[in-house]
Amino acid sequence: MLKQVAEGVLVHQSALLENNTVVVQGNGGVLLIDAGITGGEMTCLANDLRELGQPVIAGFSTHPDWDHVLWHAELGEAPRYGTARCAAYMRDLRSKEDWKSRVAEGLPPEIAGETPLDLFGLIAGLPAETDRIPWDGPLVRIIEHPAHAEGHAALVIEERGVLVAGDMLSDVLVPMPDMDAANPIEDYLVGLRLLEDVADDVDVVVPGHGSVGGADQIRARIELDRAYVHALRDAQVPSDLRIGPSAKPGWEWVGDELDWQLRCLARKGVRDGHDAFVAE
C-alpha cells in the first residue's frame, strides 16, 4: 500500500523488516528507490503504480545490501542506478559462480522462498562524483558517504523537501557502521555530518527501515545516532530505546547487533583521535 509523505512522494513499506520503498513522481512515470524485499510486495507495488498510471522510468539503490538491490519483472525494464562503488560491489558479487547461493544463505528464513534473485543487483553505476539522478522528474541530489556500506548514498528530493536516508536515521534500527572499513566510526560520523548539512532544507526523512519522520525529528534522529556511535567508539553500551527492554516488539534482536559491533571494534581497535580500546 502506498502512502503519500510529501507532494509527489509516496512510500511502500515491507512487512518483515519495515523496508521503505520510495516512489517519486516525475514526468511520465516514477523513480523507484530501493524496490522491496519479496516478490509479492513488489508485485503489489507494480499493480498500485499501474492503477495510478505511473510506470517506473528509473530505479535507484541506495547501497549494496541485499534488501536494497532487489527488483521484479513486473516493475519493468527501466534503468536501475546506484553509485559507482555500489555497482562495482554488485558486479564483483555477481561474477562469482556461487553468488546466488551466497545471497540466498543470507536471507531471513521467513522470506527466503519469497525473494526473487534473478534481477538481483543489476545496477548501472553512475560516474564518480555524479551529484544527481539522471531522470525526467524533480531534482534528486545524491549524497554519497562511507557510513553504512561501500557506495552508500542518501538522496535529497529538493523540490519536495524529502531526505531519503538509506540505512540511517531509523527509529527501529541502531546505526550499523561498515565494520569492513578501515575507520568505521569516523566514517559513520562523516555520514551523519553530511546529513546534518541538509537537515534544514528538508521537512521529511525516510529511513531505509522504520517510520517516516517529520521536520521535528530529523535533527533528533541525527543526534540519537551520533550518541550511539560515540558510545561504540568509547566501548560503552549506549543508552538507546532501540535496544534492550524498550526495543520495539519484534525488534529485540537489534541488541545482538550491538554486541557484535562491540566485539568487532574491540578486535580491530578504534582510532578516531582517541586512544583505542583493544580486546584483551
Report the pLDDT averaged over residues 58-80: 98
Percent of the chain having pLDDT more than 90? 93
Domain 2-268 classification at class level: alpha beta
Give the CA dihedral 192, 198, 204, 205, nearest 10 degrees: -20
pLDDT tens column, 93-149: 999 999 999 999 999 999 999 999 999 999 999 999 899 999 999 999 999 998 999
pLDDT tens column, 206-243: 999 999 999 999 999 999 999 999 999 999 999 999 99
pLDDT above 80: residue 272: no
pLDDT of res. 276: 38
Produce one character per residue of 53-80: b if its CB has 16 or more CB atoms within 10 Å, e if not: ebebbbbbbbbbbbbbbbbbeebeebeb
- The residue behind cell 524485499 is 37
Residue 270 banded pLDDT, cuts 50, 70, 90: low
Percent of the chain having pLDDT more than 70? 96
Question: Which residue pairs from 141-145 have beta carbons closer than 8 angstroms and sit at least 24 positions apart in sequence?
Answer: 142/83, 143/194, 143/195, 143/198, 144/83, 144/85, 145/187, 145/190, 145/191, 145/194
In 3D space, the residue among 217, 224, 189 whose CA is nearest the CA of residue 202 turns out to be 217
Domain ranges of the chain: 2-268
From the number of C-beta atoms within 10 Å of its C-beta (0-12, 13-18, 19+), residue 82 rates as buried
Report the pLDDT averaged over residues 165-179: 97
pLDDT above 70: residue 278: no
